[in-house]
Amino acid sequence: MTRRLLVIGDALLDEDLQGRAERLCPDSAGPVVEVTEAAIRPGGAALAATLAGTDPDVEVTLVAPQSRDEAGRALRRTLPPHIRVVDWPDGGSTSVKQRVRVHDRTVVRVDRGSGPALDAPLPLPVRQLLAEADAVLVSDYGLGTTKLPELRQALTDRPRNCSLVWDPHPRGGRPLRGSRLVTPNAGEARQAVIAAGHLDEGDGLAAMTNYANDLHRRWDVAALAITMGSRGCLLSYGEPVPLVVPSPAVVDGDACGAGDMFAASVASRLALGAVIEDAITFSVATAGRFLAAGGVASVGSTGMSSAWDQRPVPTVDRDARVVATGGCFDLLHSGHLATLRAARSLGDRLVVCLNSDASVRRLKGPHRPAVPEGERRDLLLALDCVDEVIVFDEDTPERVLNQIRPQVWVKGGDYAGAVLEESRVVASWGGQTVVVPYLDGYSTTSRLRSFAPDRFAGSTP
């Protein structure tokens, strides 16, 4: 069933100028940037709505003041057609955030535009939309929209079963009392408590816990989630012991938009009926996949939808020597570990091609696997020697091998002398298939038969 999400706040136009810098200005120490590529995309609440709109289970409506200038028209063109936009004209000028980037690093940011004049009343449809919404995301970028008394009253009057998520800004409006969740980042939380007279305790985990509890009391909200970048997210209900959701390891890249992805994902999950803890856990992983897929550079591309996929986005470095191995890895044992360690020693990264539950049943019999694929994948990823796990549904991993194209394909020593179809596939791009020593005496099938001989008597080794 499709749920309704209302995104309210400040809409901006973001522009990135990518270039190279090989010399300095003759009259200063500033670099001369030769622009090689320019791209525009929605920013602020418009970006949050765009990201939320990639969730196929959520219908998104954007409510934000819109100037009629050239930048405003360009901003509207960047919005996906399936995002409903409420007409809210204003007499100001569109805020534009322009980044000049060299070697994937921002060297300067130029902001222009006065922002909305906010001289028009709240559009009439907004109260009806609030009455029908399952959740509301307030995306505050400090331009004044969230301070409007009429808007704040409309949000206060929303139905009680409509979850309110408030993504705050230091210059924006105070989060509405009774919000279900407020989502500042670590810097915003620290700045907010210091501005209120709280002692600056730094940016450690204990400090973040104190900041969260202070803001929880000060803002009088149900829960507060502080996003901490690579350290994950801290969720507080005002208690001494918070919930911390670790962030998945991702490649280093442009972090712009990760907070919007997190907030959009949380609001979407709550609209779909998730509890806060589950919404936070899902959204930390979603933000990580968003960054791994290219971050804001992927906005508007088909690759952006992969952020909502529960499966991980492969992050294999193509300059590394990639080694791959495969199997069911059902009831993980020391024989598996020996193979995996040996495989990892042959290269820089080890990718494990894991048979799905359906694939294992076809290969091993109706009572297998003993351990479902989600647990098998998690156990493999917990090993230091494993860098990536990709689940496949076929009987053999040729499709996955064509995707990752490893330099080395490894099988256990029990396959020595066997003719493998994968060998031909790997050889097609110059890769090599090898076997590694087999640790005798370890067999999943033998162990399962010893535990339950009747059930696993027909299981294939």
Distance in angstroms (rounded) separating the CA atoms of residues 107 and 24: 13
| Helix intervals (H) in 16-104 | 45-52, 70-78
The secondary structure of 134-176 as a DSSP string is SEEEEE--SSSGGG-HHHHHHHHTS-TTSEEEEE--TTSPPPP
Q: What per-residue confidence (pLDDT) applies to 110? A: 93
Using CA atoms, how far residue 412 sits from 64, 324, 347, 380, in Å, is 59, 12, 16, 16
Classify domain 322-451 at the CATH class level. alpha beta
Q: What per-residue confidence (pLDDT) applies to 268? A: 95
| Beta-sheet strands, E only, within 30-134 | 31-44, 58-63, 66-67, 84-86, 89-90, 96-102, 105-112
DSSP annotation of 396: S
Do residues 322 and 406 lie in contact, with contact meaning Cβ atoms separated by under 8 Å? Answer: yes
Length of the chain: 461
- The CA-based angle 378-351-397, given to 5 degrees, is 100
Q: What per-residue confidence (pLDDT) applies to 54? A: 86
Q: What per-residue confidence (pLDDT) applies to 296? A: 82
For the entire predicted model, the pTM comes to 0.69
Q: What per-residue confidence (pLDDT) applies to 353? A: 95
| Beta-sheet strands, E only, within 104-253 | 105-112, 135-139, 163-167, 181-182, 224-227, 233-236, 243-245
Q: Find the helix or strand (DSSP H, E) in which 231 lies.
A: none
Distance in angstroms (rounded) separating the CA atoms of residues 364 and 359: 9
Do residues 399 and 362 lie in contact, with contact meaning Cβ atoms separated by under 8 Å? Answer: no
Candidates 3.50.50.60, 3.30.420.40, 3.40.1190.20, 3.40.50.920; CATH matching 3-308: 3.40.1190.20
Residue 347: other Cβ atoms inside 10 A: 18
* Token pair recorded at residue 147: 């301070």
Q: What per-residue confidence (pLDDT) applies to 134? A: 96
Q: What per-residue confidence (pLDDT) applies to 453? A: 53
DSSP annotation of 293: T
* Token pair recorded at residue 367: 């009572």
Do residues 439 and 414 lie in contact, with contact meaning Cβ atoms separated by under 8 Å? Answer: no
β-pairing, 349-355 with 388-392? parallel
Distance in angstroms (rounded) separating the CA atoms of residues 276 and 253: 28
| Beta-sheet strands, E only, within 186-314 | 224-227, 233-236, 243-245
Residue 395: alpha-carbon gap to chain centroid: 31
Nearest to 122 by CA among 207, 68, 64, 169: 64
For 18, list phi and psi in degrees, rounded to 5: -95, 140
Residues 6+ apart with CB under 8 A from 460: 363, 364, 365, 445
Q: What per-residue confidence (pLDDT) applies to 421? A: 78
Distance in angstroms (rounded) separating the CA atoms of residues 198 and 209: 13
Do residues 383 and 340 lie in contact, with contact meaning Cβ atoms separated by under 8 Å? Answer: yes
Tens-place pLDDT, residues 167-202: 999 999 999 999 999 999 999 999 999 998 888 888
Catalytic residues: 260
Tens-place pLDDT, residues 144-170: 999 999 999 999 999 999 999 999 999
The residues that bridge with 322 in the sheet, in sequence order, are: 349
**Positions in the chain short of pLDDT 50:** 301-306, 308-318, 416-417, 456, 458, 461
Domain positions in the chain are 3-308, 322-451
Distance in angstroms (rounded) separating the CA atoms of residues 368 and 168: 49
Do residues 383 and 420 lie in contact, with contact meaning Cβ atoms separated by under 8 Å? Answer: no
Nearest to 83 by CA among 106, 49, 114: 49
Distance in angstroms (rounded) separating the CA atoms of residues 325 and 345: 12
